[in-house]
């Protein structure tokens, strides 16, 4: 199921020229890599016996919904906005290959955890090229989220292909460092839709939630 898009009023958009300039670039994404102050979230999850992974996944999802530019996409060559994007998140299967789970927004963290449990159980039983994959990948109402809990990285690059880009943001979370109490986040966004300022503002919104997890994760 795809989410409805609202066309962007291009002549009234202050980034019209930027959109026209960048939208047909061969590689139009740019990447920033930052260290998030993650200790309040990590300690909250430990104290309340909830999954740290699910907590930061949920906070990233609601932050992307909250910040309007993260819903901008390119659909049939036109700028559109998706107000309620879904998340495509990778998870490790028993054979140490990954699968995609597709998550819609939820009214609470508890509901999101239940939704993830149901979707994950299905996706981990299926091959990568599952029916859900065929019906979902390539749709532009998604946000791609990956995790590298084994690495505290300081840079990241994605595999790319030569097809048309629809502007899906890509987030990669790394390993939580107990000494520095930080974790890396790599954020890739399409330059026709967002600039460095927008990346910084989204990260600030997410960081605020990491610092006050009780407000956002309570049932």
Q: What is the mean pLDDT of residues 55-60?
A: 98
pLDDT tens column, 71-96: 999 998 999 999 999 999 999 999 99
Rg of the Cα atoms in the chain:
17
Q: What whole-number distance in Å separates Cα of residue 171 and Cα of residue 190?
A: 12
- Give domain status of residue 56, yes or no: yes
pLDDT tens column, 112-150: 999 999 999 988 888 777 777 767 677 889 999 999 999
pLDDT over 80 (residue 62):
yes
Q: Is residue 188 within 8 Å of residue 169, measured between CB atoms?
A: yes
Q: 1-5, 54-58, 111-115, 144-148: which has the minimum mean pLDDT?
A: 1-5
- Give domain status of residue 63, yes or no: yes
Domain that holds residue 142: 12-217
If you average pLDDT over every residue of the chain, what do you get? 93
- Give domain status of residue 5, yes or no: no
Q: Structurally, how many domains does the chain consist of?
A: 1
- Give domain status of residue 3, yes or no: no
For residue 131, give the CATH number of its domain: 3.30.559.10
Q: How confident is the model at residue 3 (pLDDT cuts 50, 70, 90)?
A: low
- Give domain status of residue 211, yes or no: yes
The whole-model pTM stands at 0.94
- Give domain status of residue 1, yes or no: no
Q: How confident is the model at residue 15 (pLDDT cuts 50, 70, 90)?
A: very high
- Give domain status of residue 133, yes or no: yes
pLDDT over 50 (residue 1):
no
Give residue 4's pLDDT: 79
Q: How confident is the model at residue 170 (pLDDT cuts 50, 70, 90)?
A: very high
């Amino acid at each position: 199921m795809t989410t409805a898009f609202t066309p962007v009023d291009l002549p009234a958009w202050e980034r019209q020229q930027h959109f026209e300039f960048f939208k047909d670039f061969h590689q139009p994404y740019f990447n920033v890599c930052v260290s998030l102050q993650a200790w309040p979230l990590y300690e909250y999850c430990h104290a309340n016996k909830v999954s740290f992974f699910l907590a930061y996944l949920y906070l990233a999802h609601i932050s992307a919904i909250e910040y309007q530019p993260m819903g901008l996409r390119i659909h049939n060559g036109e700028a559109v906005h998706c107000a309620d994007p879904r998340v495509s998140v990778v998870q490790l299967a028993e054979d140490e290959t990954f699968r995609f789970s597709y998550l819609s927004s939820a009214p609470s963290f508890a509901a999101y955890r239940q939704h993830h449990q149901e979707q994950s159980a299905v996706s981990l039983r299926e091959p990568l090229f599952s029916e859900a994959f065929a019906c979902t990948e390539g749709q532009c109402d998604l946000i791609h989220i990956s995790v590298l809990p084994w690495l505290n990285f300081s840079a990241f690059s994605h595999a790319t292909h030569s097809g048309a880009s629809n502007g899906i943001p890509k987030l990669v979370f790394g390993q939580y460092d107990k000494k520095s109490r930080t974790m890396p986040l790599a954020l890739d966004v399409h330059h026709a839709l967002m600039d460095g300022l927008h990346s910084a503002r989204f990260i600030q919104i997410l960081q605020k939630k990491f610092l006050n997890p009780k407000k956002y994760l309570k049932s």
